[in-house]
Amino acid sequence: SEKKHYFIIGGAVFPLSETINLKPTAFVKVTNGAPIEGDITANFIFYDRFWAGVMFRTGDAFGVLAGLNITDQLAVGYSFDWSLVNSTGKYNAGSHEIMIRYDFIFKEQKMIRSPRYF
């Protein structure tokens, strides 16, 4: 039978210097009849262009990630996750992920700089 999934996602961007920002995020997944899962990520953003960080998934995985904002609308990224439980270690030494993001910008806002990096 189908089970409902509930997701809670949050994050913020904190300036550490003129050129470096810290973006911590949290992702919680609740499924009826299953344990609650959570991801915690810390990304460092350099010059609003490059980013790199680490990720931890509760009791399951650890990962590293990096990316590049090619333009204000286009970004690419890569991440690699290692299983801490390693129940699939015989068949899988980790998970590679490639990301391509495109933000549709419909109108330009010159007065306010968006703190959003998602």
> Sorting pLDDT into bands at 50, 70 and 90, what band is 115?
low
Q: Is residue 55 part of a domain?
A: yes
Question: In angstroms, rounded to a whole number, what is the distance separating the alpha carbons of residues 107 and 27?
Answer: 29
Query: For 48-52, 76-80, 100-104, which range has the lowest pLDDT when averaged over its residues?
Result: 100-104
The encoded tokens of residue 9 equal 């996602």
64 domain residue, yes or no:
yes
39, 26 contact by CB (below 8 A): yes
Domain extent for 45: 5-102
* Residue 114 falls inside a structural domain: no
Q: How many domains are there within the chain?
A: 1
Secondary structure letter of residue 76 according to DSSP: E
pTM value > 0.85: no
pLDDT at 105 over 90: no
